[in-house]
A and B are shown apart, each in its own frame.
Chain A
């Protein structure tokens, strides 16, 4: 058998197996370690305490860390898959929900909803979705109005929308007398500490989004060859793009409602994966889910154990890793 073509079947199994193991390790460490137990050996204590209901260890793990680790995993998976989808739709490897201002738009919608005091579901989630769709529409209009095909006009439009969203958020917060101010500010920086087991079922809405995108993995490959070429290869470009756009925006806005503004995950994870496994989305979609989940669980672990006391919002860790990578990629693209 010659190796001319990338055979998907075997590689898919191997990649899922390896990244699955990585995710399992991340989850175990994430649930086992924390500010009260920095020693890696604590994982062993954890395994012991799982069988002993009533102990403090048991409560910490099951009530606090597990919901938090699961939230981190699903947030990471969603954001990196969202990044992957926007990179395809905009044919730009630097596109990402946070950089494009989509997360910011969702945050504006979510905060407006919170301050109005409407219920979290479906009220706040819907206003977040509306906010992110509106931002996306504005960014794409601005970018299309600028000289077509210019990568930087899109990024610039996104950055400006992000700044605008930030201003609106600060305005909303300063106008309100809400007692939740501290909570909201932390959430803005990307915060997983508010993980509530009660809100995790929201992921029942996100899982179908993963599935839709997985089934569109091959058309995503074809879309990257350009609109006309994709059409001539049998892809209904407008329909597929619209489905991808709405699905990705929906799942990202849901995640913003739960975890706040966690930036650059959708840039870092797909970038590393493309370098290691190539540009085929039949591999990249499942790999982004597993890789993104592992990545954010590790980032959250850092956010919990790095500070001498207390903890950092995870968005600070992801920005400290992601922003330099973004600048490096932009610099390299400019030199070409």
Chain B
């Protein structure tokens, strides 16, 4: 059984088609990354997958069951979301924010049991946020806040974790540490990871499979080596690129090329077939 199966999904806002006949599958415990230029429909796809946006046609199946058959609470026990921006107008403490991940598991009045505290404590250990417990969200750096939101998501004990550009606006060290954390979660907790990334190079190093979308359509999906083809990427992103091999990881490396280096009639250096 697949974690996610999307079949000919179409979705439009006010007459404008955002996703067009899009299909994809995500296997269990897979690290799946969606890439594509701005406005390709990546975030909309994620909203459709988390049932926060209504779809026009097609179907979405989560762990063998149609998405619309889940109640909100059932869905929240199966799939967690790390949104791109987290509002912190109201100063919740980190520990209490993480504990909110228990919401879909609690009763009407929402009183936590000892077990819930235990799960939240473990989630904070796993994300290295225990030392932040007493701080409030607005006192944290971008990287710390992202870890806290991931801890909250883990607290839901989901089978799949959706993330919307979790490394955007982070410096290099924090980008790698967030990606390493996700890699660990997948290995140790068997959580399927499905994320949107604007960073093709990070995606190439961590993903089992990539999906490249453009203008709401799936261009190609497969192993990073198959998807990160120079011609495909140049057409999708609309700029000249240098694609070569990362000597450390052996994965593809993608670099945009400024006009001043591509003015000559010959194409820039090309590597591997």
Q: A residues bordering B, Cβ < 8 Å?
A: 4-6, 8-9, 91-93, 215, 217-219, 221-222, 224-229, 231-236, 274, 278-280, 282
Asked if B259 CB lies within 8 Å of chain A CBs, one says no
Question: How distant is B80 from chain A, measured CB to nearest CB, in Å?
Answer: 6
In the complex, are the beta carbons of B87 and A235 less than 8 A apart?
A: no
Asked if B11 CB lies within 8 Å of chain A CBs, one says no
Residues of A within 8 A of B80 (CB): 232
Residues of A within 8 A of B90 (CB): 91, 93, 224, 274, 279
A91, A231, A236 pick with most chain B CB within 10 angstroms: A231
Q: A228-B81, A231-B72 are in contact. Are A5 and B120 (CB under 8 A)?
A: yes
Q: How far is the CA of A226 from the CA of B112 in the complex (A)?
A: 22
In the complex, are the beta carbons of A232 and B89 less than 8 A apart?
A: no
B107 (CB) vs chain A CBs: closest residue? A218
14 example contacts (A-B, Cβ-Cβ < 8 A) are as follows A4-B121, A4-B133, A224-B87, A225-B86, A226-B85, A228-B50, A229-B83, A232-B79, A232-B162, A233-B100, A233-B101, A234-B76, A234-B77, A279-B91
In the complex, are the beta carbons of B110 and A91 less than 8 A apart?
A: no
Q: B residues bordering A, Cβ < 8 Å?
A: 47, 50-52, 72-73, 75-77, 79-81, 83, 85-87, 89-93, 95-97, 99-101, 103-104, 106, 108-112, 117, 120-121, 133-134, 152, 156, 162
In the complex, are the beta carbons of B93 and A234 less than 8 A apart?
A: no
Q: How far is the CA of A224 from the CA of B106 in the complex (A)?
A: 18
In the complex, are the beta carbons of B87 and A225 less than 8 A apart?
A: yes
B79 (CB) vs chain A CBs: closest residue? A232
Q: How far is the CA of A6 from the CA of B89 in the complex (A)?
A: 19
Q: How far is the CA of A278 from the CA of B104 in the complex (A)?
A: 22
Residues of B within 8 A of A93 (CB): 89-90
Question: How distant is B253 from chain A, measured CB to nearest CB, in Å?
Answer: 33
Residues of B within 8 A of A280 (CB): 92, 96
A231 (CB) vs chain B CBs: closest residue? B52
Q: Which 6 A-B pairs have the closest CB atoms?
A: A234-B76, A234-B104, A218-B110, A232-B81, A234-B73, A279-B90
